Amino acid sequence: MTKEKNIITNFIDGILFLDEKEELVLVNKKAEKFLNTSKKNILGKNLEELKKTGPLKEMLTNFSKKEVTINGKTIEASFINKKGLLIILRDITKEKMVKQMRNEFVSIVAHQLRTPISSIKWTLKMFLEESFGKINKEQEKYLEKVYTVNEKMVELINDLLNISRIEEGRYVYKPTATNLASLIEENIKQFKEKAKEKEINISFKKEGSCLEAVVDPEKIKLVLQNLIDNAIKYNDKGGSILIKLTSDKKNLTVSVKDTGLGIPKEQQKKIFSKFFRAKNVMKSDSEGSGLGLYINKEIIKAHKGKIWFQSVENKGTTFFFSLPLAKK
Amino acid sequence: MAKRILIIEDDQFLRELISKKLTAKDYEVIQAGDGEEGFEKVKKEKPDLLLLDLMLPGIDGFKVLEKIKADSEIAKTPVIILSNLGQKEDIDKGMNLGAQDFLIKAHFTPNQIIEKVNITLS
């Protein structure tokens, strides 16, 4: 036995190889074990036969990375299509379990945190409403400040809950045909006060006839909220925000353009990573959690859409996202 | 006569705060710290409205709501869920079981909660 053959036979992952004639010519021990079969049952068969029956049927419907459950184990199959088809099977049961436990943990912690945070919120508000007697101006000022800080905590917990749901893969809920224009208008209304404080003008333009997409409206609302909130937060005083909604034959595209800080070129790659915050933004504002854009990316991905941006430091940023149009 | 509101909430401090606020607005407040006690009090006291938490020791809020709606004597009691659960599934479940409203504690101030109570009772 050659060295190579030895390695393949005893490899920790399952390996299968179909040659250029699409005939299965190699199955290692681990693959036999994962598929709960014996070499002699599948070796020598061609792709069409394997697709029809047998343990590989489910796996071979298309050649994109996928997870299949066999005998209670979660097996991840990857495909390399180069001078034949190489299939690599990896047992990810443990990984999945750890991930699930982590998500459950985050979710429990976040829910548990909401109770004390609610009591802080309610107590502060009742002080401010003078339910416990008169307060003076200075007391009011500080209580207002603590209240704002506590509200940030509420938001952070919401973000953490959102993320744990996203990572469990059960986030998008009951998609329905939704008019994006009304969703945007509704959102702009919510940010009116906040924009006014910084003297920022928000305008909205829409073009195209069909402006409906099949989405989970709550989640797309959250995407818009995150983008508009950022566009205000990282804009200059007196700046502007332009929101555009356009459509072509296949997609709806929303863009949110600001005239603010921009994203430093060397950090643009990381902008959608969890907890990432650009350097210039960290200097100007200490409040963000670095979760908004990550949540946005995951939401848009779950809707089979795309999200991207263009940015020049000190000039501004435009975020875009596109979603498949609702089919009529 | 003052309208009577039952609060089923296991966190004593939250219960105290919202009771104070409701009392100040001339409501009469009855309290319960878990699901069993809460359901018994709905039957006995026949409140005009119920503020119901969901995560409770013993039987949870969903179950309490289900039991209320299945009991013709008290089925018409308006119920506002006041909980820190708040995923869409939870909200749908609560509303489908017959709640009038679903408020997430951390998202509402005491005044906003009173407002919802007023609206539901009017």
Same domain, A225 and A318: yes
Tell me which fold the domain B4-121 belongs to: Rossmann fold (3.40.50)
Helical axes A137-168 vs A292-302, angle rounded to 10°: 30
B29 in helix, strand or coil? Answer: strand
DSSP string, A58-76: TTTSS-S-EEEEETTEEEE
User: Nearest-5° angle of CA A40, CA A46, CA A52?
Assistant: 90
Residue bearing tokens 């804009």: A235
On average, the pLDDT of chain B sits at 95
Instruction: Say how far apart CA A145 and CA A127 lie, in whole Å.
Output: 13
A209 or A215: which carries more pLDDT confidence? A215
Mean pLDDT to the nearest integer, B22-46: 96
- A118 touches B: beta carbon within 8 Å: yes
Number of domains forming the structure of chain A: 3
Distances (CA, A) of A32 to A11, A99, A128: 12, 27, 69
Contacts of B82 (CB under 8 A, 6+ apart): B9, B18, B51, B52, B53, B103, B105, B108, B113
Over residues A274-307, the pLDDT tens digits come to 888 888 887 776 677 889 999 999 999 989 999 9
Number of cross-chain residue pairs from A and B with Cβ atoms under 8 Å apart: 50
Statement to judge: residues A266 and A150 lie in one domain: no
CB-nearest partner of B106 from A117, A126, A174: A117
What is the ipTM for the molecules in this complex?
A: 0.92
Summarize pLDDT for A93-112 with one digit per residue, the tens: 999 898 888 888 888 888 88
Q: Tell me how close the Cα of A25 comes to any Cα of chain B, in angstroms.
A: 49
- Using the predicted structure, report yes or no on whether residue B103 has a pLDDT greater than 70: yes
Give the residue numbers spanning the domain of A68: 3-91
- Interacting residues of A283 by C-beta distance below 8 A, sequence separation 6+: none
Is the minimum CB–CB distance between A149 and chain B shorter than 8 Å? no
A45-54, A59-68, A232-241, A303-312, range with the lowest pLDDT: A59-68
Q: How many CA atoms lie within 13 A of A289 on its CB side?
A: 20
For residues A30 and A15, membership in a common domain is answered with: yes
Cα separation, B29 vs B47, in Å, equals 9
Q: Which of A91, A119, A145 is the last residue of a domain?
A: A91
Contact A255, A223 (CB under 8 A): no
- pLDDT by residue (tens digit) across A223-244? 999 999 999 999 999 999 999 9
User: What's the CATH number where A100 sits?
Assistant: 1.10.287.130
Q: Which residues pair with A78 in a beta bridge?
A: A88
Question: In chain B, what are the domain boundaries?
Answer: 4-121
Q: Is residue A86 domain-shared with residue A101, that is, in the same domain?
A: no
Q: Assess contact for B78 and B100: CB atoms under 8 A.
A: yes
